Amino acid sequence: MGVITDEARRWADREYPRFEMLVTAADIAKFAHATGETDPVHFDKDAAVAAGHNDVVAPTLFTYVVRMHASALVPPDQLEPDGSPTADVPPLPTRRAMAGETSVEMGVPVVAGDVIGVDKRLANMYEKEGRSGPLVFVEMEFTFTNQRGEMVARENFTRIYR
Amino acid sequence: MTPLPGVGEEAPVQNRAPTALDLFMFSASAWLLHRIHYDTPFTIEHEGHPGLLIHGPLQGVYLVQTAESWIGDRARLTSITYRHLAPAYLGDELECGGTVTGSDDEGVELELWARKKEGTVTTTGKARFTKR
C-alpha cells in the first residue's frame, strides 16, 4: 500500500524558481560565530586577502544558509505553526519532517560580495515501511553557483516525512 | 609539510556543547525558523521532545570542523556526506571525532562521528580530502 499519490509526486516534482542571494560580510560573520569559527579569514578582509581571497571567505557548508533563505524567506503567513515554510509541507498523510542524509560536493569558495544562486529539483522520492508506519523519503538536489557561473557546491538532501 | 595521516589514525576529539545562544545564532544566521531550536515550551508540549534540539546541519558543521582542523592545509575537503541517527538536545555534550578509512595518491577518506558522552551516536559522516 503506497502513500505517495500522483498529487504528492507532482508536488515534489514541481518547478522551483532559482533563488539568488547577495552574500555580505555580515552574513558570513554570523554563520562563522554561530558555529564557533575563530579563523580571521571569516571576519577580517585583510586576513582573507593575505590568504589569497578577494574578501572574507565563508566557512565550509555556508551554502546551507543560502538554501534555507531560498525556502524560508517568506511572509509569516506562509509559515506553519511550527515555523516551517508551508510550501515545504507535502500533500501526504505523513507530514512530520526530519532530516535524513546530506551529501555535499564542494566547488569554489564563497566570499563576501558574491551573488550565490541555487537551483533546486527533485532527485528521488520513495517510501519505506517504518516501525510506526510509512516513511516517505524526498531527495532534493541543490546546485549552487556564483555570479561567474562557477559551481560553488552541489548538495543532495533527503527529508524524511513520517 | 607533514604527510597526510594514514589509515587508522584518529583526529583529536572536539567536545561541542552548544548553548541556547549558539542554537539561536545558528537558526538566525540561516533564517531557519523551525521552533524546535529556540522555543522550549512549544518543543516540549507540541513536539514531545525533552528540550531544544541541536540542529542536524550544525552537527554536520562540527564534523567538518573536526576534520578540517586536523587536516589543515595539507588537503582540501572535496565532499562530505552525513546522516542523523538520534536526536541531540540542548545540554548534551557531543564528542566529535574521526578516523582515516582510506588513503591513496590523491588524498584521504575519513569516517566522522558525533556522539553523546553516554555513547549514543547522533550523527555519522564520511569526508573526502584531496591534496592541494
Q: Please judge whether B76 and A106 are an interchain contact, meaning their C-beta atoms are less than 8 angstroms apart.
A: yes
Mean pLDDT calculated for residue range A32-45: 98
Q: A111-148, pLDDT tens digit by residue?
A: 999 999 999 999 999 999 988 888 999 999 999 999 99
Q: Is B3 exposed, middle or buried (0-12, 13-18, 19+ CB in 10 A)?
A: exposed
With bands split at pLDDT 50, 70 and 90, how would you rate the model's confidence at A1? low
- A104 contact B CB<8A: yes
Q: Do B25 and A34 touch (CB under 8 A)?
A: yes
ipTM above 0.85, yes or no: yes
CA–CA min distance B2, chain A (Å): 20
Contacts of B44 (CB under 8 A, 6+ apart): B50, B51
Q: Are A102 and B81 a contacting pair at CB < 8 A?
A: yes
- Name the pairing type of β-strands A97-106 and A151-161: antiparallel
pLDDT tens column, B41-82: 999 999 899 999 999 999 999 999 999 999 999 999 999 999
Using the Cβ of A54 and the Cβ atoms of chain B, whether some distance falls under 8 Å is answered with no
Q: Decide: helix, strand or coil at residue B124.
A: strand
pLDDT digits (tens, 9 = 90+) for A62-104: 999 999 999 999 999 999 999 999 998 888 887 778 888 999 9
Grid cell, residue A64, equals 546551507
The share of chain A scoring above pLDDT 70, in percent, equals 99
Confidence at residue A99, expressed as pLDDT on a 0 to 100 scale: 84
Strand intervals (E) in A39-132: 97-106, 115-130
pLDDT at position B126 is 98
**Model-wide pTM > 0.90:** yes
Which residues pair with residue A142 across a beta bridge?
A: A120, A155
Nearest CA in chain A to B128: A105
Segments in B2-45 forming alpha helices (H): 20-30, 40-45
Chosen for mutation from B21, B29, B78 (greatest number of chain A CBs closer than 10 Å) is: B29
Measured distance CA(B123)–CA(B35) in Å, rounded: 21
Q: Coil, helix or strand for B36? A: helix
